[in-house]
Amino acid sequence: MTNKDSHKEKKKNEDIKQTQEDVKKQKTSDKKSTSSKTTKETKSKKTNSKTKHTCEKKLKEANNKYNELDDKYLRLVAEYDNYRKRTLKERMELIQTAGEDTLINFLPIMDNIDRAKKSVDDAKDIDAIKEGINLIYKHIFDFLTERGIKEIEAVGEPFDTDLHEALTKITAPEEDLKGKVIDVIEKGYKLKDKVLRYAKVVVGE
């Protein structure tokens, strides 16, 4: 074998060896790449699993919160309905009781009127009749006063459309009575500050 052939053979062996090393390196690189890819996929799966678990947990919490609020809402509606019914019932009972109380307290006045009627039929003394009528009037007046009902002052007072109803006007007998109430045809009454009936009056002009 010549030196030239020996050199070629050596060169060939070196190339084969280099190729083998390159293949080995490529295999190592591919193995690392595959390992890295597998690791990434594993991490990705773990992340997705964790995210899914978190979402399911939040959804469950949201459903529980919704059910809790829905239960509170239904309880509140039921309580309000019961309160409304109870209040309406109490109001009706109060109105009925108030009316009953008024009638019960008016019965003694009716008793006095009945006694006065009998006295008139048998009476020979006019003073006794007057006394009976005055007594009945006082009972009625006290009955109304105790319940906040007061007579509207009119005679000699300036005419007030918030309290008086003018039925007619006449010439004032005195100068200082112009624009004032001269006479009362029908008395007016107030329940505290509310007018129950306007006083029907005659006004001077």
- Expressed as residue numbers, the domain containing 172 is 149-205
Contact 178, 172 (CB under 8 A): yes
Computed over every residue of the chain, the mean pLDDT equals 78
Task: Please give the tally of structural domains in the chain.
Answer: 2
Asked if 55 and 134 sit in the same domain, the reply is yes
- Per the structure block, which two tokens stand in for 26? 């490529």
pTM of the model: 0.47
Higher pLDDT pick, 78 / 3? 78
Question: What CA–CA distance (Å, rounded) separates 73 from 64?
Answer: 14
Whether residue 57 is found in the same domain as residue 138: yes
User: Does residue 204 belong to any structural domain of this protein?
Assistant: yes
Q: How does residue 5 score in pLDDT terms, banded at 50, 70 and 90?
A: low
Rounded mean pLDDT of 19-35? 63
* Contact between 175 and 165 (Cβ < 8 Å): no
For 134-156, what is the mean pLDDT?
85
Q: For the domain that residue 158 is a member of, what is the CATH number?
A: 2.30.22.10
Rounded average pLDDT over 167-183: 90
Task: Please write the tens of the pLDDT for every residue from 55-102.
Answer: 888 888 888 888 888 888 888 888 888 888 988 888 877 766 666 677
